[in-house]
Amino acid sequence: MYRANAEFDPKSPEAKAVQRGLNVLAEIFPDKTPELERFNVISMYCVVAELLRQYVCEQVKPLLRSWFLAFRGSTQRSGIQIGG
């Protein structure tokens, strides 16, 4: 994997976009959140990345944490198994 991407530039626009998405996730979930497991971090990152791409992230950022926690709570109460 590293050899195939040896020319990856950490200062490239793509790398900066990934870092920006991760920073937003860190803002939304500043504390350890047990509901945010490895398998759904990727999904949340994809949501955040798309919101950033559409320039609407600032408007919905305050709602994302409560939406995600409510969603995970409802799936856990209904017995739906998600991920790992």
* Encoded tokens for 43: 């999904």
Of the pLDDT bands very low, low, confident and very high (cuts 50, 70, 90), residue 83 is: low
User: How many angstroms separate the most distant Cα atoms in the chain?
Assistant: 47
d(CA 73, CA 41): 16
Q: Which residue has better confidence, 15 or 55?
A: 15
User: At residue 11, what are phi and psi to the nearest 5 degrees?
Assistant: -100, 5
pLDDT of 75 reads 75
In the chain, where the domains are located: 13-77
User: Global pTM?
Assistant: 0.76
pLDDT of 21 reads 94
